[in-house]
Amino acid sequence: MKLPRSTYYYKLKNKPDDERSLLDRIEAIIEEFPGYGYRRVTRELHRRGFPVNHKKVLRIMKQQGLTRKPKRRWVRTTDSNHPHRVYSNLVQNLLVTGPNQVWVADITYIGIRSGFVYLAVILDLFARRAVGQALPHNIDTTLCLEALRMAIALRTPPPGIIHHSDLGVQYASHNYVDTLLQHGFRISMSRKGNPHDNATAESFFKTLKSEEVYLWEYRTMDDVQNRLPYFIEEVYNRKRLHSSLGYQPPVEFEERFNQTKSCPVTPTAAV
């Protein structure tokens, strides 16, 4: 019949049923993690036992309108014009090899109907795990101290751990600095005008807003308090895949390290 040899071995690569099944799985992941892009969707599919190429996932997500760009708003949260002492940056190019070596702190805002609510967080830099948080109405030292005290109570950090923040007056105030020194922290601050010095905290807030805040219409303080702590602890810490951690959630990454006492992926610089 003069047919090429490959004809005998030809199989349809993309069966409609297979495409439909894959789309169902992608939609289920996005329903659970609304802010996931195609890379994390692909990794989550792999974790669930469905090996698939990331290009195919991207194509399907584009066809179905499952890719999105979050809206952005900006409110100033850092006031570096103050008379308090400014500390040197201790984490620049520092290699973090385990938990409780470096904590990073920062503040952001959450928009509600009556204005803004401010969120302070403390992250353990090794696993990018949120270990302290606070949600009062006012952006002041009390807000930051509440997050710090929560982290200290949860982790009982050893003396010599580095606390890194921006140059904001909240972190440079006497009350905050005194609390750090009482618990044996070494104090580190970003260089003026260099937002990359606290990039891990900025990345956390970007994730928080694109995958939670922008997807819900927070109207009251109660709305924020009911949803945000759950997202931080149950979704971000325990389920969300982090590319910098080899696509593992922070809690899982930290637990694997504690079991083996070796880093599950190649460590990176602090900031």
Helix (H) or strand (E) holding 27: helix 16-32
Q: What is the pLDDT of residues 1-40, one digit of tens each?
A: 677 776 666 555 555 567 778 888 887 887 778 778 888 8
The reported pLDDT for the residue numbered 269 is 52
pLDDT at 177 (0 to 100):
95
Position 81 scores a pLDDT of 58
Q: What is the pLDDT of residue 254?
A: 95
Residue 8 confidence (pLDDT): 63
Q: Output the six-digit token pair for 69.
A: 């760009």
Question: For the whole model, what pTM was predicted?
Answer: 0.72
DSSP state of 233: I
Query: For residues 250 and 125, what is the distance between their CA atoms, to the nearest angstrom?
Result: 10
Stretches in the chain below the pLDDT threshold 70: 1, 6-17, 68-83, 137-140, 193-195, 262-271
Q: Give the type of residue at 177.
A: V
Distance, in Å, from the CA atom of 219 to the CA atom of 44, rounded to the nearest integer, reads: 32
- pLDDT given at position 178: 95
Q: What is the DSSP string of 160-186?
A: T-EEEE-S-HHHHSHHHHHHHHHTTPE
pLDDT (0 to 100) of residue 74? 45
CB-CB neighbours of 25 under 10 Å = 17
pLDDT of residue 232: 95
Compute the C-alpha angle 63/66/68, nearest 5°: 120
User: Which of the following CATH numbers is that of domain 102-260: 3.40.50.2300, 3.30.420.10, 3.30.465.10, 2.120.10.30?
Assistant: 3.30.420.10
Q: Which residue has the tokens 């795990």?
A: 129
- Which sign does the torsion angle of CA 23, 253, 145, 166 carry? negative
- Structural domain boundaries of the chain? 13-63, 102-260
